[in-house]
Amino acid sequence: MGQRNLLVRRAIRRRYETYVIHTPNATDSWDSSTGRRSKGVPTKRDIKAALINVSDEDLQLVPEGDRTEGIRTLYSEEEVFTVQEGTDTSAEILETPDGKYYKLIRRHDRFQGLFYKSFCGLYSPKPNELAP
């Protein structure tokens, strides 16, 4: 790993905090004995990540329709998910330690092989969208 990558990794990890990732509609399941589909329930998990203000350069990577005032960049070593085209899954929601919510808009593959770089926008969750 090059010197630049080590510096980037240290800089991002210094900003790490623990966040909660909510998955609004976890995968539905099929009960073959009853022949019925069971609706997925919201789930949550903790991740370590850095949430920073989006740069002007990065803002150009976000589709215009998704650009909001509260857009931020999330760097994490764990994968997070946005809306998946052609499925009935919703984008994951990030909860900050101070109680703000951000919906994942777009994710890029690992940034320089170190982190997932995602964009998220300020969000007001709907009732029953978050895991208790």
Statement: residue 74 has pLDDT above 60: yes
The DSSP secondary structure of 96-124, one letter per residue, reads: -TTS-EEEEEEEEEEETTTEEEEEEEE--
Beta-ladder partners of 76: 49, 116
Structural domains of the chain sorted by starting position, each given as residue range(s) with its CATH number in brackets: 3-122 (2.40.10.270)
Q: What is the pLDDT of residues 108-123, one digit of tens each?
A: 766 656 788 888 888 9
Q: pLDDT tens digits for 2-15?
A: 777 778 788 888 99
Q: Which amino acid is at 3?
A: Q
Is the whole-model pTM more than 0.75?
A: yes
18 within 8 A of 47, measured Cβ to Cβ: yes
